Amino acid sequence: MSRVVVVGAGFGGIAAAARLAKLRHDVTLVERRERVGGALGHVERDGFRWDAGPSTTALPAVLRDLFRKSGRPLERELDLVPVEPMREHRFPDGTTLALPSGSRADQLEAVEAALGGGLGRAWVDHVHAFADTWDVLRRSYLERPWDPDHADRTVTTLLRTRTSLARRVARSLRDRRLREVALFPARLDGHDPRRVPEWRGMDAYVEQGFGTWTAPGGLGSLAAVLAKRLDERRVRVLLGTRVHDLALDGGRTVGVDTDAGRIDADVVVCAVDPRVLPALARGVRRARPATPPTVCHLGLSGDVPVLPHEVVLHGDPLLVVRTGGTAPEGGAAWTVLARGLTEDPVAALARRGLDVRGRVRVRVDRSPADQVEELGGSPYGERWQGRATVDRLLARPAYDGLLLAGAHAAVDPALPYVGLTAAVVAERVGPA
């Protein structure tokens, strides 16, 4: 049995703690906030409730694997339901594309019906070109510990490609609207697609092949279910406790120094932004966290447009409307995310054809700085800066006895990829 300290109770930290506890290790989870869940959870105000962070997830198998390998199956704790359509894209020229998930054939039909000109075939061919990429990275990197000394050259070459996602998309998609669809996830996450490696295009393949899912009432409900799992696994959870730094001895991590004193450990799992720990900050001094989008939660009443779960308004600014919140009878709960915003988000919505200015009853604004301050780091992980970012992700941890999990250790801040970092941590540590 190893003494394990996990720093940070976001999804990655919780998943790592639960898996390691099920493997019979003595696990302590330390969190600076007064609740677990990180970006997962809800924002509530006057009867309205919105997802605080992600509202959907792809690859539900990652969640199911976490729950199966840490106790009761997910199906006994939380219902996951498919999101259809996956999202609706609205373009400045007035065209609209409601893109299904989980089906290549359905996407082909939807793109062709909305845009015509053989673009349905162009889209599915572009997406399917990432099938081998996904399969190789899943088996050789995402689902298993990375060993640079024994890595397959094919995988290393793929990961360190100099071709950007922007260039790959420009080559394979001649239609400007489809290029915007293909680059949307990277832009929403705060990246310049010219600095993102081309293999990140596999996200479209994952969504097309496995679908997107949510929970009734919002994916934020997952936070409470995860807290329950920690209790069942008898993980010691220290809330309202700040970790000041790693405790080191001869190049090995032997614990953490906290507000409550030193906690000794055989293994430390860092599931927070490494910049907050002085022992790790120097190693990421040239890296930059991805800036969160501006977020505005709206509680609406009256005659409100009926929208799908997610609507993307392409253009300047980039706006995303998520409608999966809960509201009092006769109301609606929307969350607006914005990139490149230079005006009030409600005014920007009105200018783009969604005028709810007279319907707002409750409003909660969360700036990028607010989100970083609240969470103690960016929930969007690292900003892609070309091969430098890849090299950092592939590097060995700075100290023996240290493992990394969470959004800042993942290739993508989405729940499945963060969850896979925890699975890799559990495999590295192994059973007690």
Please write the tens of the pLDDT for every residue from 343-379: 999 999 999 999 999 999 999 999 999 999 999 999 9
Answer whether residue 284 shows pLDDT above 90.
Answer: no
Residue 143, classed as helix, strand or coil, is: coil
Residue 49 is assigned to a structural domain of this protein: no
Do 392 and 274 belong together in one domain?
Answer: yes
Residue 53 is assigned to a structural domain of this protein: no
Could you tell me whether strands 212-214 and 57-58 are parallel, antiparallel, or unpaired per DSSP bridges? Answer: antiparallel
Boundary residue ending a domain (146, 175, 210): 210
CA distance 165 to 185: 11
Residue 47 is assigned to a structural domain of this protein: no
Residue 223 is assigned to a structural domain of this protein: yes
Residue 267 is assigned to a structural domain of this protein: yes
Do 104 and 198 belong together in one domain?
Answer: yes
| 119-128 vs 202-210: helix crossing angle, rounded to 10 | 100
- What is residue 172's predicted lDDT score, i.e. its pLDDT? 97
CA-nearest of 11, 53, 9 to 325 is: 53
Do 276 and 299 belong together in one domain?
Answer: no
Residue 46 is assigned to a structural domain of this protein: no
Do 220 and 144 belong together in one domain?
Answer: no
Do 182 and 313 belong together in one domain?
Answer: no
Residue 150 is assigned to a structural domain of this protein: yes
Do 387 and 413 belong together in one domain?
Answer: yes
CA distance 294 to 277: 26
- What is residue 148's predicted lDDT score, i.e. its pLDDT? 80
Quickly tell me which residue has 């969007």 as its tokens.
380
362: phi then psi, degrees, rounded to nearest 5: -140, 145
Domain that holds residue 203: 97-210
Boundary residue ending a domain (162, 185, 210): 210
CA distance 99 to 123: 11
What is the domain count for the chain?
A: 3
Do 403 and 285 belong together in one domain?
Answer: yes
Do 76 and 32 belong together in one domain?
Answer: yes
Do 200 and 114 belong together in one domain?
Answer: yes
Q: What is the pTM of this model?
A: 0.95
Do 122 and 148 belong together in one domain?
Answer: yes
At 303-337, the pLDDT tens digits run 999 999 999 999 999 999 999 999 999 999 999 99
CA-nearest of 282, 356, 358 to 321 is: 356
Answer whether residue 16 shows pLDDT above 90.
Answer: yes
Do 191 and 204 belong together in one domain?
Answer: yes
Boundary residue ending a domain (180, 210, 240): 210
Q: Region 152-158: what's the mean pLDDT?
A: 89
Residue 90 is assigned to a structural domain of this protein: no
> Can you spell out the DSSP letters for 38-106?
TT-SEEEETTEEEESS---EE-HHHHHHHHHTTSS-GGGT---EE-SSSEEEE-TTS-EEEE-SS-HHH
Do 188 and 107 belong together in one domain?
Answer: yes
**CATH number, position 77:** 3.50.50.60
CA distance 221 to 219: 5
C-alpha Rg value of the chain to the nearest Å = 21
